[in-house]
Amino acid sequence: MASNDAVQIAKQLRVDGGRLYSSLLELAQIGATPKGGVCRLALTDLDKQGRQWVINKALSLGLTIVTDQIGNTFMRREGKKPHLAPIMTGSHIDTQPTGGKYDGNYGVLAGLEVIETLNDHQIETEAPIEVVFWTNEEGSRFTPVMMGSGVFSGAISQELAYTSKDIDGKNVKDELTRIGFLGTQKPGDHPCGAYFEAHIEQGPILEYQDKVIGVVPAVMGLRWFDCTVQGFEAHAGPTPMEIRDDALQNSLRIMQKVVDVANQYAPHGRGTVGMVQVFPNSRNVIPGRVQFSIDIRHTDASTLDQMTVDLKECIKDIATEKSIKIDLKEVSYFPPCNFDEGCIQTIRQAAQDLGYSHMDVVSGAGHDAIYMKSIAPTGMIFIPCKDGVSHNEIEDAKADHLEAGANVLLQSILAYAKRSN
């Protein structure tokens, strides 16, 4: 067959959207919640069941399975030239405690659907294709988040990951052993020619703009802080307002600055206070101590740094003005991540060739692709999710959007793996 004919036939390939949707619903039964979501925390018995379900599906497609020492599992479809680094796709199958059917799971099952489509049409590629599910992406049970891909890329030490404990004192290494997923391959001793990850957007932009495909050029950088404001408890009645050391009122000024600094650096600035603890938390006692989280994000590293400077200056001014102690501790930092231009353009071209409406969408959430970007050309494909809701049992996505994203994934993988017949 002439090479041009082969290319044209490959471009006409489409996944089976109904088959993909059925697979997603079937996997979602493992850890299903009453409200229609999924609770399948990393390295639990339910995670073991989910992993085995995915592996059984991969084996039915003729794939070979390798699991590394942090539990990352690679499912390989051989290429005509096995020595070439595989073109990889995937995501994660662990969920939040009140998670949905699609976050992570879609990326893994879309990858298997791509392979099943290639099998259906007996298409051989030059490079191997691998689908991977990473360990503990969500970080709901163990920290740090994105653990499997972080260890794989060398950003997180294997020892740190192994010794991470859940609230019951159980550590990652023991739990990997218990569920049978402590593999033998050293993380990172696994080549990757390029990495593509399909995912629901987890935000409202695509739905709001009525677009089917999000081409993801970058992921926002973030800084997380724990802030403690120390005041002085006193009776709410007898103590005049002007002499109070009210920790909550001073905390509210900092919290407002978090929002203000995000708005100041629009459109990609983000600022959130998501967790607040007030002591003694009594109706008629002036709060003596407040602890709260700060989450700031931006796509530009220097802007994120400036947001941090602005926030710290505000805190310093309040502490000086009120003569109170304020402790600000940075607990996490992820720099902004820009994906490979070649992968970005390949995704964009695939969406255009397939006739799908599309737009560039910066990701505000973290993904395994962030770590993969450091070791291989990487790109991400987004599809809309209903009302932008994710990390929630009501998380939803349209079947035709799931199919569209998988078709873009198929064409992007073929562009890198190359059809050989």
For 357-413, write each residue's pLDDT tens digit.
999 999 999 999 999 999 999 999 999 999 999 999 999 999 999 999 999 999 999
Centre a 10 Å sphere on the Cβ of residue 61 and count the other Cβ atoms it contains. Answer: 15
For 72-109, write each residue's pLDDT tens digit.
999 999 999 999 999 999 999 999 999 999 999 999 99
What was the pLDDT predicted at 2?
44
Residue-range domain boundaries for the chain = 3-219+336-417, 221-334
Distance CA 349, CA 411 (A): 9
What was the pLDDT predicted at 419?
79
297: pLDDT confidence band, cut at 50, 70 and 90?
very high
pTM of the predicted structure, to 2 decimals: 0.88
CA atoms within 13 A on the CB side of 348: 13
With the CA atoms of 254, 257, 259 and 262 taken in that order, what torsion angle do they form, in degrees rounded to the nearest 10?
Answer: -130
Report whether pLDDT(123) > 70.
Answer: yes
Distance CA 185, CA 412 (A): 28
Helix (H) or strand (E) holding 264: helix 247-264
Q: Is 221-334 in the same CATH topology as 3-219+336-417?
A: no
Under 8 Å CB-to-CB from 101, ≥6 apart: which residues?
Answer: 24, 25, 27, 28, 36, 37, 38, 395, 396
Please say whether the beta carbons of 35 and 393 come within 8 A.
Answer: yes
- Mean pLDDT (the chain) is 96
What was the pLDDT predicted at 8?
65
DSSP 186: P
Right CATH for 3-219+336-417 from 3.40.630.10, 3.40.50.150, 3.40.50.1820, 2.60.40.1080: 3.40.630.10
DSSP 358-421: EEE--B-S--THHHHTTTS-EEEEEE--GGG--SSTT----HHHHHHHHHHHHHHHHHHH-B--
Residues in the chain, total: 421
Q: Which two tokens stand for residue 386?
A: 């209903």
Q: Which two tokens stand for residue 45?
A: 């018995």
Domain 221-334, CATH: 3.30.70.360
Distance CA 190, CA 330 (A): 33
Average pLDDT over residues 249-256: 98
What was the pLDDT predicted at 409?
98
Please say whether the beta carbons of 297 and 222 come within 8 A.
Answer: yes
Distance CA 202, CA 224 (A): 20
Helix (H) or strand (E) holding 133: strand 129-134
Distance CA 89, CA 80 (A): 18
